[in-house]
Chains A and B, each alone.
Chain A
C-alpha cells in the first residue's frame, strides 16, 4: 500500500500538521511518498521521496496549479491514498484532486475502523464509516486525530515541473490576523463561554469564573460571531489552538472545530445541560447542569 502525503506550506514555512499525515501513513503501515509546493529549505523531514514544486513559480495558494502538482506526483507514484490535512488548504484542494482522478473522497477522517474510514457526522454527535469503491481514494484528516510524528531523516527531493495556469483565480495575498488582545496559547487556565450561556449579558458570569480561577476567558465560535466576545478569545480551528493545564467549557456543545482547538488541554471540565453534547467525550469531568446556575455557585466558592 502506498500513501501520497500532500504537505502544506504557508508564508515560507512547512506546517507541522504535515507530520500528522506521516502518522496516518504509519498507522496504515503504508509506504510513504510526499508532495509539497514549497521550497527546499522547508521540505518535510522523512525517509521517503518528496516531490517539490517551486512555490516561487506556483504561488502559495493557487488551487489549479497545486492540483496539477499533486496529479503529477500521483502519475509518477500511483498511490492508493492521497492524503491531506482537513484544513483551509486541504478541504479546498482535495475535491479538486478527487474529481480530476474521478475517485472517492472521505472528508475529515478521525480514525480507521475495520479497514473503513471513520468520520464524524451531525456535529460530532454521530459517527459514519465510509468505504470508497474506487481503486484509490482521496482523504482529509481531522486536525489532531493522528498525533504528529517527529521530523526524521532528510528526504530524497525530486523536483516537479508544473504548468502555471490559475484558470480564472488569482491569489492576492494574506491578511494578517487581528492583533491578539489575549494570548490564550500561553494561558494555564482557560474558561470558555459557549452558546449555552444564552446571551451577551451572561458572559460576565463566565469572565468572573475565569478571574476566580486565575485564568483567561475563551469563547466558542458562535459566541464570537454573535459579538458577545471579541475574536481574540476564540478557541478552535479558526481561532487559537490552546493547551492549558485546565480547560473549563461552559455551555460549549463541542463542534469538531472547537474540539480541535482545545483537545491538547491537560484537564477538561465541561459544564453542559446536555449529557450527550460532544464536549462530554473530551471531558475529564462532565457536570450536567445549567451553566447559569452552576457557574455563579462555583465562582462564589472559589472567591470565598
Chain B
C-alpha cells in the first residue's frame, strides 16, 4: 500500500496550484459578488486542460486519470467553489456519459469541443417533481421520423446558462418509470429550448443554475446516447463519477477554509497571545483537520478505484457524504475561529460556508448517499 501521490500527480498538483493562486484566488471574491465566472477565466481553465482532464486524448482530453481530475477540482475549489463545480458538472455530468456510452462518431462530434472548452457541458436530469427520485422524470419524448421530439421542463441545471452541450433525460412513457427513460445529447441552442431563469443562490454564486422550458425540441435520432430505455442506468453511472468530483470540490472548500483558519489563529492575538495557543482553538483545528484527512483519503480511494476499473459506487457515495459534511463542518468552525471577522465578507470564510452547503445536497443528497451505502451493506 502506498498513500504517497506519484511524482506525476505532484507535478500536476503543483501546476494547478500555481495557476489557481495566480488566476483564480485573486478574483474569487469578485466571482461571488458578480454572480459570474469571467469568460476569460473559463477560457484559461480550458487552455490548462481542466475541462477534459481524464477524457481520452483522441477526443481532445488530457488523457489523465480520475485521481488527476479530483486533484484539479480540489485545488481549484480551495480558492473558488464556483469554479470547482463548473469543472465537475461539465466533466463528470456531460463529458462522462458521452465518453462512457457514446459511439465513436458521437464522441468526435460532441466530446472534442467539450474537452477543449469550446462548449460547456451540463446534465439535464432534475425536474420540479423529480429530484432525488430520478425515476420520476416527466419530460417526454416521442419519435417522429429520424428525430425525437422532447417536451417538458428541467430545473437546477448547473452550467445551463452557457447554452453549450447537454445530456438530457426524458421518458417515452412515465408509467414505465425507470425503464421508460432515455438519454440524448442536445445542443442547448436548438429551437424550443428557452431559459426560464438563472437562479439566485446562497452559495456557488458564480455558476449558472438554470431552469429550462423544452417545447417541441427536435433532437436528431443519431443523438440518442446508448439505447432507448437505458437512460436511468446512464444517469446512475454518471452520478457515481460525479460524486467523486463533488467530494473533491467539498474537500477543496474545506481545505481552503482550514488554511485560512490555521493562518488566522497564529496571527490573531487575544489575552496577550495568539489564539492558536488556546486549547479551545487547538481542538477545533484538530477536529477540522481530522475530517479533511478522512475525506481526502476516501475521495482519492474512490478515484483510484475508478481508475483501477473496480466497482466503486459504495466509495463514491462515502466520499461525497464524508467530504460534504466535512466542508459544512469545517467552514462553520472556520467562521467561529475568525470570530466577528469571519462573519464579514473580506475574510472569505463566510463565502466558503455558503459554498459548502450545496455539496450536501446536489448529485444525490446525503440522505440518498446513506441509502446507497446501507443498501450495499445489507444486500
**A199 to B79, alpha carbons, bound, how many Å?**
14
Give the chain B neighbours of A201 by CB distance below 8 A. 26
A198 within 8 A of B: yes
Contact between chains at A273 and B26 (CB < 8 Å): no
CB distance from B265 to the nearest CB of A (A): 13
Closest chain-A Cβ to B44's Cβ sits at a distance in Å of 16
B133 within 8 A of A: no
List chain A residues, Cβ under 8 A from B222: none
- Chain A residues with CB under 8 A of B27: 199
Smallest CB separation, A95 vs chain B (Å): 31
Please encode chain A, from 189 to 205, with 1 for each CB lying within 8 Å of some chain B CB and 0 for all others: 00000000011110000
Smallest beta-carbon distance B359→chain A, Å:
27
Is the CB–CB distance between A289 and B267 below 8 Å? yes
A16 at the interface (CB under 8 A from B): no
**Interchain nearest-CB distance for A80 vs B (Å):** 45
Contact of A290 with B by CB under 8 A? yes
**Nearest CB on B from A204, distance (A):** 14
In the bound complex, what is the Cα–Cα distance between A298 and B105 (angstroms)? 64
Q: Are the C-beta atoms of A290 and B26 separated by less than 8 Å?
A: no
- Name the interface residues of A69-90: CB closer than 8 Å to any CB of B: none
- Give the residues from 254 to 303 in chain A that come closer than 8 angstroms, CB to CB, to chain B: 273, 288-290, 292-293
- Tell me whether A199 and B267 are in contact (CB under 8 A): no
Q: Are B267 and A198 in contact (CB under 8 A)?
A: no
CA gap between A199 and B22 in the complex, in Å: 9
Q: Which residues on B sit within 8 Å (CB–CB) of A200?
A: 26
Question: Which residues 287-340 of B sit at the A interface, judged by CB distance below 8 A?
Answer: none
Across the interface, name the chain B residue whose C-beta is closest to A289: B267
**Majority DSSP secondary structure for residues of B touching A:** helix
CB <8 Å contact, A288 and B267? yes
B contact residues around A198 at 8 Å (CB): 26
**Residues of chain A contacted by B346 (CB below 8 angstroms):** 292-293
What are the residues of chain B within 8 A of A293 when measuring CB–CB?
346
Residue numbers in B under 8 Å from A288 (CB-CB): 267
Closest partner residue, chain B, to A288 (CB atom): B267
Q: Mark B19-30, 1 if CB is under 8 A from A, else 0.
A: 000000011000
Cα distance A201–B263 in the bound complex, in angstroms: 22
Using CB atoms, name the residue of chain A closest to B264.
Answer: A290
Which residue on chain B has the smallest CB distance to residue A290?
Answer: B267
Chain A stretch 93-116: residues in CB contact (< 8 A) with chain B: none
Nearest Cβ on chain A to B223's Cβ, whole angstroms: 44
Closest-by-CB residue of B relative to A292 is B346
How long is the Cα–Cα vector from A199 to B28 in the complex, in angstroms?
A: 12
Contacts of B26 in A (CB 8 A): 198-201
Chain B 248-278 interface mask (CB, 8 Å, partner A; 1/0): 0000000000000001000100000000000
- The CA-CA distance from A290 to B266 in the complex, in Å, is 12
Distance to closest chain B CB from A84 (angstroms): 35
Distance in angstroms from B24 CB to nearest chain A CB is: 11
B274 → chain A closest CB, angstroms: 10
- A273: chain B residues at CB < 8 Å are 263, 267
Min distance, Cβ B235 to any Cβ of chain A, angstroms: 41
Nearest-Cβ distance from residue A211 to partner chain B, whole angstroms: 22
**A290-B346 Cα distance, complex, nearest whole Å:** 12
Query: Which chain B residue shows the least CB distance to A198?
Result: B26
With A and B bound together, what is the CA distance between A242 and B3 in angstroms? Answer: 52
A273 to B263 Cα, complex, angstroms: 9
Complex CA distance for A268 and B295, rounded to whole angstroms: 46
Residue of B nearest to A226 (CB): B22
Instruction: Give A93 to B102 CA distance when docked, in angstroms.
Output: 64
State in angstroms the CA–CA spacing of A293 and B340 once bound together.
14
Chain A residues with CB under 8 A of B263: 273
**Per-residue interface assignment for chain B, residues 339 to 353, with 1 indicating a CB less than 8 Å from any chain A CB and 0 otherwise:** 000000010000000
Give Cα A289 to B268, complex, Å: 9
The smallest C-beta distance from B41 to any residue of chain A, in angstroms, reads: 14
* Closest A residue by C-beta to B22: A226
A289 to B27, CA, bound (A): 22
Which B209-264 residues have a C-beta within 8 angstroms of A? 263
Q: Give the complex CA separation of A198 and B267 in angstroms.
A: 17
User: Which residues of B lie under 8 Å from residue A292 when comparing CB positions?
Assistant: 346
Rounded to whole angstroms, the CA-CA distance of A200 and B30 in the bound complex is 13
Q: B-facing mask of A175-214, CB < 8 A → 1, else 0?
A: 0000000000000000000000011110000000000000
Most chain B CB neighbours (cut-off 10 Å) among A198, A200, A288, A290 = A290
For the complex, give the distance between the alpha carbons of A293 and B26 in Å: 16
Given the complex of chains A and B, what is the CA–CA distance between A199 and B26 in angstroms?
Answer: 6
Query: B269's closest neighbor in chain A, by CB?
Result: A288
How close is A270's CB to chain B, nearest CB, in angstroms? Answer: 15
Q: Which residues of B contact A199 (CB under 8 A)?
A: 26-27
B348 to chain A, nearest CB (A): 11
Q: In the docked arrangement, what's the CA distance between A290 and B348, Å? A: 14
Docked complex Cα distance between A292 and B263 (Å): 15
Interface pairs A-B: 3 shortest CB-CB:
A199-B26, A273-B267, A198-B26
Pairs A–B under 8 Å by Cβ, sample size 12: A198-B26, A199-B26, A199-B27, A200-B26, A201-B26, A273-B263, A273-B267, A288-B267, A289-B267, A290-B267, A292-B346, A293-B346
Q: What would 10 more interface pairs be, CB under 8 Å, given A200-B26, A273-B267?
A: A198-B26, A199-B26, A199-B27, A201-B26, A273-B263, A288-B267, A289-B267, A290-B267, A292-B346, A293-B346
